[in-house]
Amino acid sequence: MGVGKSCLLHQFTEKKFMADCPHTIGVEFGTRIMEVHGQKVKLQIWDTAGQERFRAVTRSYYRGAAGALMVYDITRRSTYNHLSSWLTDARNLTNPNTVIILIGNKADLEAQRDVTYEEAKQFAEENGLLFLEASAKTGENVEEAFLEAAKRIYQNIQDGSLDLNAAESGVQHKPSAPQGGRLNADNQPAKEGCSC
């Protein structure tokens, strides 16, 4: 709770810092389209509450997730100390190929740091997680965190470890129309002047 998950999402989707960010009640939602390896990808991001009383609700959003950003506050050790519990939930409730990235937020508050970069990096390595520190306030590494998650998910699709046909993959594939044309109901290029 209070680690800046909603602020990270707001910085990513709106490219600005939300100073008076209220605690999330249940779940919030955000989207953004970005390019990954030359493909337009729409990221649908569920921002879940960090409060213990919402944990049962939060758990239901793990199912079908292709990726997860697990966030702690570098200035509050208690948030770091709870990572193992959150990681256990994520691993037990997602498919084995879900991309999980550990984010140490509030990197702009270096003078108040309570968790070293090195110990968080070691935790990430021991648990097979990607890791970076970010600042929702300054925007540092926010774009990179989401882009890296999207790249890893895309790679999982390319190498077959994420099945697009499985509902639990968390990924929906929408075929694109042929160059310069629309598709009709039979997935055939539309004829000139046709309104199908």
pLDDT digits 0-9 by tens, 36-56: 999 999 999 887 765 555 455
**More reliable by pLDDT, 50 or 191:** 50
Overall domain count for the chain: 1
Are 136 and 130 a contacting pair, CB within 8 Å?
no
Any domain includes 54? yes
DSSP string, 153-174: HHHHHHTTSS-TTSGGG-----
For the question of whether the overall pTM of this predicted structure is more than 0.85, the answer is no
Any domain includes 175? no
Any domain includes 121? yes
Q: In this predicted model, what pLDDT tens digit does every residue of 79-136 receive, in sequence order?
A: 999 999 999 999 998 888 999 999 999 999 999 999 999 999 999 999 999 999 999 9
Any domain includes 174? no
Identify the domain containing residue 127 by its residue range.
5-159
Any domain includes 88? yes
Any domain includes 104? yes
Any domain includes 182? no
CATH number at residue 40: 3.40.50.300
